[in-house]
Structure 1
Amino acid sequence: MQTAILIGALASALVLGPLLIWLNDANKYYVKVDPTVFAAEFRVTEDMLSRSNGTFTSEKAGGKYRDDEANYRVWHNTQASNGLVGMYLIDTQGRPAYYVDPTINGVIKEDEDGNKLNRYDAPKTVLMSYIIKGILSQELPWGLILIGGMIAIVLELSGVPSLAFAVGIYLPISASSPIFVGGMVRWAVDLYLRRKLASKNLTEEQVIAETDKSNGVLLASGYIAGGSVAGILIAIFAFLPMLERIQSGFGKWAKAANPFYAGEWADLLSLIPIAILALFLFFVGREVILSGRRSDPFE
């Protein structure tokens, strides 16, 4: 199993890593920096510039400024006091020439003509970056962290999983609601499995181990993997012209053929596939369907 985990991790890193980098670079938006944004005497010194293998990282402007043939050096501004945090292209005078807004966690949602830009949020990545930058700059709000740590200790002493509690606070209700529904399905399936195993005289640890090996857990793991792959595929559809036309065609068809495509009932309609997935997961966990044959180690 450890070998399989290692192979899976390497495959994910080798495939998803370059793919995410490509997605982040696919829809960069370049904005010319107004000379008045930074003070007249402001200069980006060489020690502030990005380097790769000891040499300065260089990049040309893209987007509607792709005709600019000049090579610019790259500066990653991490101090809000210097201006908008992010990546800049620096000219030969040390002045920021372009601000580069990335696809992932980009802050510019529309271009200069009012057209919507494809942007994807990664809140967990942002949180981790804040923590890392806070530690390195020695500006981490330790008071809040200590308060959170003490709350976690109280929760654990009370028998409440502190990690689950923290995730529920951290995630927005739109993300935590499906997790709650999945937890209710797991609870209902565990009730059935505990009744099934009641005559086996198992310890609590053995019962938990058996419920963790149910078909429902395997299917839920597939849901997680499938959701991740689907998210990447949807992002790819937004950047490849041919796939974007296909996605746009589906959108136009749905808008013309579905009376509930927009309006007050649109969100309610989207709950139908969620309900189908939850019911399918419940029946698989209850071994009503796709039960297969599995030997009983306690017989």
Structure 2
Amino acid sequence: MTQPLPPPVVDPERSLPEITVKAVILGIVLAMLLAAANAYIGLLVGMTVSASIPAAAVSLGLLRLFRRSNILENNMVQTAASAGESLVAGIIFTIPALVMMGAWQGYLYWPMVAIAIVGGVLGVSFTIPLRRALIVEARLRFPEGVATAEVLKTGGVETDRSNSAEVPQDQSAASGFRLLVQAAGLGGLFKLMESGLGLLAGGVTTVKSGLGGHYLFSGGMTLSPALIGVGYIVGLNIAVLVFLGGVIGTLIGVPVNWLLSRESILVAAGIDSTLALEAFTPQQWAAIAAASWQKCRYIGVGAMMVGGLWSLVALAKPLASGIRASLSAYRASKTDGAKAPSRTETDTPFQLVILVALVSIIPLFFIFYLALGDYQHKLMVSALMTLLMLVLGFIFSSVAGYMAGLVGSSNNPISGVTIATVITSALILVTIMGKEGVASTLGPIAVIYLAALICSSAAIAGDNMQDLKCGHVVGATPWRQQLFQVIGVIAAALLIPLVLDVLDAGYGIGRPAAGGDPTKFLAAPQAGLMMTLATGIFGSGIEWHFILMGCALAVLLILLDRRQERRGAEFRFPVLAVAVGIYLPLGLSVPIFIGGLLADAIRRGANQVGATEAQARSNRGVLLASGLITGEALMGVVIAIYVAFIGQPGTAWQYAGLAGVASLMLICVYLYRQTIATKP
């Protein structure tokens, strides 16, 4: 028999202020800041992490400065703020492909704003009918939504400094805010000393040849507190798999590829094939290792393709059940009209949701129409792409909402949804448009536009469901939260193009910036993958040899994962985590792995203490890790602005490598000790 749900923190019969001026302003500011931070970290490592918990902590810390505030107000702030973090994933996983393929000469402001707003608002709309089915009836876990609610509870229900009879806020609210700010300061300081002043190295690398040049070892480690934080938040399972992907792509793939394909690698590296191996300089060996790794990355492409499609197949049955339950709940609410729903069960009216979907047809059509330039049949193709967006957008947004309930927003395989979009739409368009003439250029552009809209929609859908779960726990009004999601979407959409323009000028996105350090550009792995798939299907060619290896690896991982699922094992093998690890440089996966190890050590230690202290440690760890990510990422944006418009950063110090390793070790110690401290 199903146990009844616990009552919300704020009773449905009680009404507290939710939409206030200070909540709107703070929500907008945090949505923009967290969007900027996640743009940097997402382009660097190909993963974003949920911002709900740090946003809740910041909200608690700032709203407590006002005379009156309450838990529902804080919940609205984190709802808008987390929307900014989620929306940026939809943009950075796709839009850079347009610049990388030469379709755009830079990050065009208004097209990006239009894509982000339309995609984000549709993501909110698509998941409104699913709220009751997935949160109330299916009772999915929504782990980050529940964790955010726990953070919000630490601030108490309501404060009124003009009335001493009010229950004061718990001191842990102020402590959480201080921890977040402190960790952000450390992350920002590390980035300033590394990229700004040159006192710390951004990474350590080595390339060694052996066996007379027939064996090639390439390894390294990126020195980044933010990546330690990413590994901590995603946990040991995902961190291990990302590292495993790095091992496959670099420690195994690079030497094996060099052994089997020496001639083609020398050509790619620009080295004379008649030169004796013993005569190669260290710089030439480094170029050879890089060229070999560039080929091996396509193994990750193949694994992502299969992993993305598999995630959709695996979710088909539960998704259909969720949609049926949602429609049944809606019909029941209409037939049982004698009793109006309570405040905590009042969604945005279904008629308004349908109206938003219908009205969106107009901007969607013009987005595609303008993207297709002078293509002869662009009227028909634009109408088809608009239909695909509405159909696939709803399906994939529903998938993202369901997955958020199972594994959380940080582990939600949005990349898989986008890969499926690119492959499906590219195959449809290449059948209609062909591969000749202008179609070979405009076809991939239209595909990336559609992918950006659907990726934005799916990213917001997962975040919306996570926030609605938090609201369900604390007793928020659903339609007000849905409104704040839209506010966060619009705020972030207006800033994201500017941030990407600055990052591209300062570091380079997907390729080094003009005159910039060729080792420090932002990889943008998903965008590179989308470009490869879209242009490859339209005729520029794909490295099928390596992609098929990745497909085979993905099948093996799926079989292992299914076996673990049948055994009820805690450790699983999600394909996309390994695929991202293969596609990224090994150096990025090493600190992620260290962060996962730290998280596991702290989790094991928490098993020896009570449930209350274990939850407190969990909250502290997430806040500290989020602070490291946010601080480093925001400082990265500041430095990019300096490099783009003012001048060059400082020259690297002689002992920057040693100092960087030592500093990162101290930050790991800090993260561990502060997390397990009884009184932070």
Which one has a larger percent helix, Structure 1 or Structure 2? 2
Structure possessing the higher relative contact order (Cα contacts under 8 Å, 6 or more residues apart): 2
- TM-score by length of structure 2 reads 0.24
Bigger strand share: 1
